[in-house]
Amino acid sequence: MTDPYTPQIIEPKWQQQWEATKLYRQIIDRNKPKHYALTMLPYPSGDLHIGHWYAMTPSDARARFMRMKGYNVLFPMGFDAFGLPAENAAIARNIHPSKWTFANIERMRQQLRSMGAMFDWEREAVSADPEYYRWTQWFFKKLMELGLAYRKLAAVDFCPRCNTTLAREQVWGEDRHCERCGTPVIKKELEQWFFKTTDYAEELLDFSQINWPERVKVMQTNWIGRSEGAEVIFLTEQGDEIPIFTTRPDTLWGATFMVLAPEHPLVEKVTTPEQKEAVEAYHAAAQKLTDIDREAADREKTGVFTGGYAINPVNGERIPIWVADYVLMGYGFGAIMAVPAHDERDFAFATRFDLPIAEVIRMPGRAESDGPLAKAYTSKSEGQLVNSGPFTGTPTEGAAARVTDWLAETGKGKKAVNYRLRDWLISRQRYWGAPIPVVYCPEHGAVAVPDDQLPILLPEDVAFMPTGESPLKQHELFQQTTCPVCGRDARRETDTMDTFMCSSWYQYRYLSPHYDQGPFDPEEGAYWLPVDQYTGGIEHATMHLIYTRFFTKAMREMGLVHFSEPMLALFNQGMVLGEDGEKMSKSRGNVVAPDNLVEKYGADTVRTYLMFFARWEQGGPWNYDGIKGPQRLIQDVWQLALADYQPGMMDAAATRNLRRKTHQTIRKVTQDLEGFAFNTAVAAIMEQRNAIQEALKQRQVMVEAWREAVDSLLLLLAPIAPHITEELWARRGGRYSIHQQPWPVWDEETAKEEAITVVVQVNGKVRDRFEMAADTGEEGIKAAALASEKVQAWFEGKSPRKVIVVKGQLVNIVV
RNA sequence: GCCGAAGUGGCGGAACAGGCAGACGCGCACGACUCAAAAUCGUGUUCCCUCGGGAGUGUGGGUUCGAUUCCCACCUUCGGCACCA
């Protein structure tokens, strides 16, 4: 009798052993191909939840698999340790954010160890550590030097609950809420720091160097929002230029008015004295509106006439200039030509304010005599141009390009490209983040702090306001400083940086978390970079995953790296939901606690279940009954690996069958782990388990085949369930460690089926099936199918008209 | 409104270069072991059926010898974007 399986004993035992022998120390080895596997780093919220397990243990299994396949694998872990929850805890419970954060990190390190992952803890990086954020600040300065960081006054998104500004990417949904807390944002006019992500808009659209999910690429492409069109310059009657962007230059002749955003710099100049009061009142009212009100598409259009006029450059017509908030200052030039006949928004506006509608694209089947348009005609391919000067009669298809060429020739405009992407706003009015390394001198303005003064440390002696206002704003000593240029009194910037800035470059810091000559040791970088396989949730598609791409491109300009993409391949896992199929949350009471599960079943069973219960990219609801399958598997593996196998009546066919199954399983599991199909990999291992159980019962296979089957079962399971396989490997006399063994290889010949089941269909319906030798030729299969009595019974006296033979599988007889 | 993903047994899910639908697992049913239960083992498990078969992968069409897989239309669910000129 074997001793029972007790994960509570063997798991901690091996975790200690692995640590003591530095089994997972990952160092440069130029004799092996490298593989940098990375999983998104957690925020130290206090407890490791099942979602962390779901993200990390399959990534770990994949990294372990690559290691056994012969790669030198780097698989690091760290903490994205700056951020609001720490500060909110400070406010609510009077604990310093630093204390709270580092205590949580300590706790989570222990919990992470219970997963049995192959993290190299000597490479751990913590973004709230001064030796980390020193380099976050250094990067800010570098971006300033490159002209990629700038400060400007702008109406920006502000979360009233978090009490801070947000980047455009961090405002979500129809109601434009804060990505963190769900509160709808408001607009505030503030001086803020931005990174010029828009400089890289075009390059960010190029995914040719990376193997990323289509979904993420589509989301980023939409987010960047490239549109092609033309830039056209309109002149006011006073002669001021108003450039506009349009995607429909072919409708220029239909521009019957212009609209400026309320914040447009020319508004004041074009407004006539009679209209001044109305325009100013409108601007003031627009500023008070929240974005939700202002940007709601179904809201009735509002606006006021400025009293001023512009000249349409293509036909010389005098057209009124209006101000309306449906034109946004942040896109294009903050001014548009309005073509009501061919744009739904302009049509709605013109109808509301009784402005002229000039039809310049004639819909097929429509005649001049049909009267005014009932709605805007917006087709870009059907119809032809009318009342359009030299272009009258041109088909709509291709007209935009022709008009653009003509605009360029005649100097009225030119081809232009516009992006929806905005620059990244990185200033945060909160304490627990990396301070922006800038001082403000009355003489020299915003000046970067010299490198030798980095890091700008967060002061420890701070009092937190219940409002969430940053204590740095009240901290006289922190703010008092001198100008690095002239030495006179200056004030320190009190805003800190967006934590997405910290996580934009963490994959580089992992290489050498204590290196003090730069953000990372170039020698480590030359070997390990870039990241080969990244895994994480889809929720970062347009935030972190855009920022880190931008960062790497900027690092290329800094000469720090020679490549342009941080992560060559990406895989998005899904989410584990509560048993009720809803997102887990404390308020719903559907949270699954991994610590309890590990206590009850052991980490190996939890890992196996997480990989088995659903397709990884899909995720799904947790099910406490479902875990029994993997639990039985783990227990059966224990029994089988320790079983005393004594063959009885030997049978060559039984031996061949087991060996075939073994090699087929190796092939299947290898291919599945390659492709992140953990669920079917586990299913294949279960099938192998079933075959071995059967062999044990029958006692007909040779000892060598038995051993091969059990050994490969352990090896295939090792990445998924690292502890039990290590224990059993050792008990069976294997060399330490199983995780350093080469991945098993299959023999195609042994894996080959000896017999095939031939399915015979008559008119597409299955009527018979029988076994044949796998090497039977097409003719032989056909003859056997036609000879079948069961099949012939369906001919109903008719003779076969056509016989289709699919080799090794099926015969379809048409009568 | 626009863009994208997905609809398969009681449940989670397999199988798509067009070829046996339902691998693997959960659950359930019956049986064995047990005083009994749990655990374990065995058998069965898409539905209907007159035991010959018939129907079946969201719905309706189409292509094909053959469709879960390809094409068209629609329905439902879930994501993303949305006054972006």
Task: Give bridge partners of residue A230 from the DSSP assignment.
Answer: A246, A415
| Lookup: nucleotide whose C1' is closest to A338 CA | B85
Q: Is A38 helix (H, G, I), strand (E, B) or coil?
A: strand
Question: Which residue's CA is nearest to the C1' of nucleotide B66?
Answer: A764
Question: Which residue's CA is nearest to the C1' of nucleotide B27?
Answer: A625
Distance CA A13, CA A687 (A): 29
- Intervals of chain A under pLDDT 70: 1-2, 289-298, 796
| Lookup: nucleotide whose C1' is closest to A632 CA | B25
Asked whether residue A682, judged by its CB, lies under 7 Å from any atom of the DNA or RNA strand B, the reply is yes
Task: Let me know: does A638 contact A5? Beta carbons within 8 Å.
Answer: yes
Strand boundaries in A360-479, DSSP class E = 361-362, 384-385, 413-419, 424-425, 427-428, 438-441, 445-448
Give me A370's structure tokens.
């049909």
Domain ranges within chain A, ordered by starting residue:
147-196+433-498, 226-419, 624-751, 755-814
Q: Determine whether A661 is exposed, middle or buried from the number of CB atoms within 10 Å of its CB (0-12, 13-18, 19+).
A: buried
Positive/negative CA dihedral, A426, A430, A434, A440: positive
Asked whether residue A550, judged by its CB, lies under 7 Å from any atom of the DNA or RNA strand B, the reply is no
Q: What's the complex ipTM?
A: 0.95
| Lookup: nucleotide whose C1' is closest to A174 CA | B82
Asked whether residue A712, judged by its CB, lies under 7 Å from any atom of the DNA or RNA strand B, the reply is no
Q: Considering only CA atoms, which of A244, A256, A232, A404 is closest in space to residue A328?
A: A244
Question: Which residue's CA is nearest to the C1' of nucleotide B23?
Answer: A683
Q: Considering only CA atoms, which of A802, A806, A710 is closest in space to residue A757?
A: A806
State, as a whole number of angstroms, the distance between the CA of A709 and the C1' of B36: 39
Distance CA A468, CA A431 (A): 9
- pLDDT, tens digit (0-9, with 9 covering 90-100), for A617-642: 999 999 998 999 999 999 999 999 99
* Domain A226-419 annotated CATH 3.40.50.1970: no
| Lookup: nucleotide whose C1' is closest to A687 CA | B24
State, as a whole number of angstroms, the distance between the CA of A5 and the C1' of B40: 15
| Lookup: nucleotide whose C1' is closest to A538 CA | B79
State, as a whole number of angstroms, the distance between the CA of A311 and the C1' of B81: 35
Asked whether residue A356, judged by its CB, lies under 7 Å from any atom of the DNA or RNA strand B, the reply is no
Asked whether residue A413, judged by its CB, lies under 7 Å from any atom of the DNA or RNA strand B, the reply is no
Distance CA A414, CA A406 (A): 9
Question: Which residue's CA is nearest to the C1' of nucleotide B14?
Answer: A680
Confidence at residue A42, expressed as pLDDT on a 0 to 100 scale: 95
Distance CA A559, CA A451 (A): 18
Asked whether residue A251, judged by its CB, lies under 7 Å from any atom of the DNA or RNA strand B, the reply is no
**Which chain A residues 312-331 have CB under 7 A to strand B?**
325-331
CATH dotted code for A624-751: 1.10.730.10
State, as a whole number of angstroms, the distance between the CA of A793 and the C1' of B61: 33
CATH dotted code for A755-814: 3.10.20.590
Give me A759's structure tokens.
């399915």
Which bases of strand B sit closer than 7 A to a protein CB?
A: 3-5, 11-15, 19-21, 23-27, 40-42, 54-55, 65-67, 79-85
Confidence at residue A322, expressed as pLDDT on a 0 to 100 scale: 96
Asked whether residue A615, judged by its CB, lies under 7 Å from any atom of the DNA or RNA strand B, the reply is yes
**Which chain A residues 483-512 have CB under 7 A to strand B?**
none
State, as a whole number of angstroms, the distance between the CA of A114 and the C1' of B39: 27
Q: Considering only CA atoms, which of A532, A506, A504, A537 is closest in space to residue A55?
A: A537
State the number of CA atoms in the 13 A half-sphere of A50 facing the CB: 28
**Which chain A residues 617-656 have CB under 7 A to strand B?**
618, 620-621, 623, 625-626, 628-630, 632-633, 635-636
